[in-house]
Each structure stands twice: as C-alpha cells, then as structure tokens.
Structure 1
Amino acid sequence: MLADSLSRLLADRCDPALRMKVAYAAPYHSPELWAALVEMGALHALVDEDHGGFGGAGFDIATVFEALGAALCPEPVLPALLAARLLVAAGADAGPLLAGDLRYAVGLFEMDGTALDEIETTADGGRLTGRKSVVYGGPGADRFLIVARDGARLSLHEVAASDAQVLPYAMIDGGGAAEVILDAAPARLLMADAGAAVQDALDAGALALSAEALGGMETALALTVDYLKQRRQFGRPIGSNQALQHRTVELVTEIAQARSIVILAASRMGTADQSRSVSMCKHLCGRVAQRVAEEAIQMHGGIAMTWEAPVSHYAKRLVMIDAQLGDADHHLHRVMAGLQAV
C-alpha cells in the first residue's frame, strides 16, 4: 500500500520536467512536493511506531527510496532518514521532523573523506568548532545534527542553522548539499557516545541509497528499451540488433542481482549481520548503477548527453548515488577489513 500510494503521488507530481526545473538552483528541490510527501506520511514510514512513525524496518526504507529513485525525486528524504535514526537513538523527539515542522540535516564527514576516525570537529564547553563537508539537505535546514570528536569517542550535538555558517551548492546531479562551518557554535549535546548510533544511521542511509539506485536503474532500463524499439536506422528499429539485445539482457540480469541483495540487506536490518550485508549491498548496487548509467547513455547515443533527455538525469543521479556515504570501493574495503570503520 505504501509503495502504491507513494508511486501514484510521484507519478502525478514528480515528472522529469520537475527535476529539470528545480535542479542546480536553490533550494534544490520542490517545497510543494516536499509538503505533499510529508502530508502522505512518507517520513513516518522511516520511524517505528514507538517513536511516532509506522515503519522503520529495512523494507519500509527500501520501499520508500525505491519509489523515489524510480521517479528521480529531488526531495531531501535521505537527510531526514539519517536525522530520524539519530534522534530516535538519542531519545530525542523526532515528531517535528516527521511532521515537517523542522528540517534536519546531518553533518557527518569532513573534507578528508568518509572515514569516521578522521573526524576532527571538536566539542568544548557546549560549543563546536570544525567544518562538515557535503552535508546532504544542508540548504534550507533548520537544525543540524553534528558528529564531533570527544577524545576517543564520537558525540552527537544539535546546532541551530542560524548559529553556523552554511555554504549551499548543487551536487553534480542537481541535489542540494552544503559546507557547514562551525566556529565555537553553541550546541546541545544529544549523545555523549554516539559511535554505534552513527554507524546505524550510515547503514540505513546506505540501504536507502541502494534502493534508490534500484528504482533509478529500473527506469533507466525501461527508457533505454523503449528508445531501442522506437529509434530506426537502415529501415529497422535499432533494437533488432543482436549485440544491443545481448547488452540489454545483461543489464536485466545485473539489476535482478541488485534487487536480490537489496532484499537481503533490508531483511538483515536490526540484526548482527546488518553492517556487513548493507556494505555488500552498497558495493554491488554502486557497481551496477555505474554500468547501467554508462550503457543507457551509449545505447541512446548523443541524445543521452542533452539536458532535455530524462535518461541523462537518471545517469547523473546513479553516478552520484555510488559516491554518497561511501562508494563501491569503500564498502568493499569495509567487508574485506571485517567491517572495521575504515
């Protein structure tokens, strides 16, 4: 029911023209579509019933984000998911976030990359100093959840956007991110030892991105197959070319493998095998997403490089998904290193 309702809403309100209109220009999404998603309860699906939602399990997350990916939805649902996981873990009230009264963004990583042990933002006497890079959903956020270092531990703090310097910009796919600079910014401590909660949020985010990639890959493949049937050359559809048929079948097979591992990772959320399964999932989906993006562009030809072709926007989003919250190589290394925070 959730998948059907969300898919219908996005089909009515989020066509490729919307992303072309809102991408690359502040606020990097559609406030009207965001309000519609909040009203239908999409954010509530990301949190369990005990904390004000009606979902929160792995399959709830995967269902929401697969629909978002299929529609190429530009809304900042990923930062809402990350923030919700952290607020719930900290015992804080997630109600204002779920109701759309407050927008949160999460400051995780810094300029050196995606390693938690490289975090240098410091907390001293209720004030934070440091810089958070590529903060998803940073433009327009009311509050930031900032991960800082407190000796050997990671702590979680809440900072009002008005107390930080926020430098917004668009990523390569048009989605909004920001640099958040903290100079003795006043902060409220939410968790003194937040390492496990941060890793859980990262796992949920990686699952969400994998499911979003799955939805995007399915649509990119459908666009490509449709183009192969319609585009004619030498008096026949180019889809009659056997080499192109074989390449298309290979994509179908790889996307099916990606769907299987998304299902596996979703089923293992909340278990001891959560992180390992999610990293395996993000690694495989990242590789497949890159291939689908490249093949879709090549089989479309030059038209796929134009702004007007929806497939070009799907390709950019698929490439960006691989880079977010650790790329395929990062997650492969995590699995190989026994899931240490590397």
Structure 2
Amino acid sequence: MAGRLFAATAPASLQGDWLDDLLTGSKRLALAHAEASARGGLDWVETTATTTGDGWKLTGSKPYCVAGGGADGYIVSARISGEPGDNAGVALFLVPAASPGISAHDWHMADGSVACSLELGDVIVPSGNKLSDDGLAAIAAASDLAALARSAEALGIMERIFAETIDYLRTRDQFGSALGSFQAIQHRMVAQYAVIEQSRALLNLALVSWGSDEFANAVHGARAYIAEASVTLGHEMIQFHGGMGVTDELAIGGGHKRLLVLSRWPEGPLAALDRYAGLLN
C-alpha cells in the first residue's frame, strides 16, 4: 500500500532517494492515515500541516499505522485546509522515521505483525516532501489495489488451510474410521469448497476488470464476500482440528489470525458491501 502510494505521488527527486531501496526491501515505508476519531471513510483527518519557512510543520496523532514497526519512513496524511470530514484539503507528506518530534510506539496486531502509533509533535519536513495535494484521492486509488491484494492473499490462505484440513480428515481416525468418511463432515467441507470457488470467481472478475470503470466496484464486491467468508472458513477448519487447530504447530491457527486482520483492516466486510452498493464513496 505505502510503496504503491509513494510511487504514484512522489516527485522525481524523492523517488531517486527512496524507490530503488523500497523495491529491494532495504527500506520500508508505512501509511499513517487512520485516526482515532474516524468512524469509517477516508476523509476524517485532524492532523494538520502548516507552512513554516521553506517546509511544513505536522502536528497530530496517527494511532493505527499498520506495518509501521521498524519502518524507515511514513506517508502521513495531514489537513492543509478545511475541517475534519471535508473531502478536499488533505495532503500527503513523506516523514522520515528519524525526524525530530516524531514518536513511534509499536504494538502487535492479531496476526503478530507489528503496527505502531505515531505522535507528531510539530515535526518539520522540507517542502519537497509533500507528495500530493489531493491525498484522499491518491489513497482511494491505492486502496482499491490494496483491497484486491488483501483478497488474493486471503484466498491463498483459505486454499492452504482447506488443503491441510483435507489431509487431516483423511488420516485422523475416529471410531475406527477416517474422519473424512463421515457424511456430515463431508457436507461441511463441500460447502467450504464452494466458498473457495466463489471467492476465486469474484477475484478473477475483479482482475479482468482492471482498467475499466467496473474495476473498483468489482474489487469492493470481491472483498465484501471474501472478507466475511474467509473468517467463517477459518472457524470451520479449526473446528475440524479441535484444540490443535489454534496452536502454533499448525498453519491453521496462524492462517486464521491473518484472515481476521485481512478481513477487518482497514474496514470490515459490511463497509466494503456498502461501497459495492454505492452507499459509501
């Protein structure tokens, strides 16, 4: 998300300093956009940016900086005009992690990945570090591709934990028979197989819509379905394994934790469904 956003908005001078290292992985960026007072949508930004000398002064708090732990820099959204909730007046700034006045506190998400909470206490960045004057539009464009990537990752996890459960049901004996021989279990596994196939079809529809006016809507539809269905599938696979399903020894529990994060960040499946229905911008 952050790398794509940087490549789409950064001026040539900044790309020369950062892009090659981002591509090789020797540097990492994280997006710092969501704020504590936001209640859905992209436009609630209270962090402010004001001009000072030949630069900008950023002040505010970004408590939900996903993948921000150990990042070398942050793409920070800040309001240069208007009020929180306005669709215009939000710019994006590149803020190096070592900038004076910035404070990052790491915290762990459900899947073990490291996010951070940022406090920006009058952080000064050069004028050339402003990436975009229309930050919300840039984030929205990158968010569609990020949602597609999250859905694809979720589908891959669904396939992996489903395949491992099939192997387990074929080899685990109960009452002298393999668990997979019981018809009730077969019915439940068939239902989840159908979920995987439907998820794949929706993802493929989004992929072939790339470049058309239907792309964003197809992504929202795929995400709305996959985000909800993937968590249910994870629950089922854990149930078939019993208590072993939530241990670190198996991929089932770890995969399900990742599915939880993918399905709920940056918004839940109901919000994606509202976007698909045209109820949210």
Q: What TM-score, normalized to structure 1?
A: 0.72
The reply on whether 1:166 has 2:96 as its aligned counterpart is no
- In 2, the alpha carbon distance for the partners of 1:324 and 1:181 equals 21
More deviation, 289-298/105-114: 105-114
User: What is the root-mean-square deviation in Å for CA atoms of aligned residues?
Assistant: 1.6
Q: String of CA shifts for 1:301-320, please: whole Å, max 9, x gaps.
A: 12112232221111111111
The residue identity in structure 1 corresponding to 2:33 is: L
Asked whether 1:97 is paired with 2:22, we answer yes
Following superposition of structure 1 onto structure 2, how do residues 249-268 of structure 1 map, counting pairs within 5 Å?
A: 249-268=190-209
Cα 1:96/1:270, change in 2 over 3 Å? farther
- The letter for the 2-side match of 1:130 is G
* Residue number in structure 1 paired with 2:2: 82
Show the counterpart of 1:122: 48
Aligned ranges 1:114-263 → 2 under 5 Å:
114-125=40-51, 126-151=56-81, 152-163=88-99, 164-187=102-125, 188-263=129-204
**Residues 298-313 of structure 1 correspond to what in structure 2 (within 5 A)?**
298-313=239-254
Equivalent position of 1:325 in the other structure: 266
Matched to 2:49, the amino acid is A
Contact 2:43 2:136 in 1 (8 A): no
Distance of aligned partners of 1:191 and 1:318 in 2 relative to their CA distance in 1, 3 Å threshold? same
Shift of 1:337: 3.2
Contact kept, 8 Å, 1:143 with 1:158, in 2: the verdict is: yes
Q: Distance in 1 between matches of 2:34 and 2:113?
A: 18
Give yes or no for contact 1:110–1:119 (8 Å, CA) kept in 2: yes
Any idea what SS the aligned residue of 2:43 has? helix
Counterpart for residue 108 of structure 1: 33
Gaps of 5+ in 1: 1-80
> In the TM superposition, what is the alpha-carbon distance from 1:90 to its structure 2 partner?
3.6
For residues 230 and 307 of structure 1, the distance between their equivalents in structure 2, rounded to whole angstroms, comes to: 20
SS at match of 1:206: helix
Cα distance in 2 for residues equivalent to 1:275 and 1:338 = 14
Q: Deviations over 1:285-308 (max 9, x none)?
A: 101111111100111112112232
- Amino acid paired to 1:180: L
Tell me by how many angstroms 1:251 deviates: 0.7
Amino acid in structure 2 at the alignment position of 1:177: A
Conserved 8 A contact 1:121-1:148 = yes
Moved more, 264-273 or 248-257: 264-273
Q: SS in structure 2 opposite 1:138?
A: coil
Unaligned runs of 5+ in 2: 82-87
Aligned residues: 260
| TM-score, scaled relative to structure 2 | 0.87
The AA in structure 1 aligned to 2:30 is A
Following superposition, the deviation at residue 266 of structure 1 comes to: 2.0
Aligned counterparts, 1:331-342, within 5 A: 331-340=272-281
Larger radius of gyration: 2
- Partner of 2:115, secondary structure, is strand
Alpha-carbon distance in structure 2 between the residues aligned to 1:272 and 1:82: 24
Shift in Å at residue 339 of structure 1? 4.3
Task: State the AA in 1 paired with 2:103.
Answer: Q
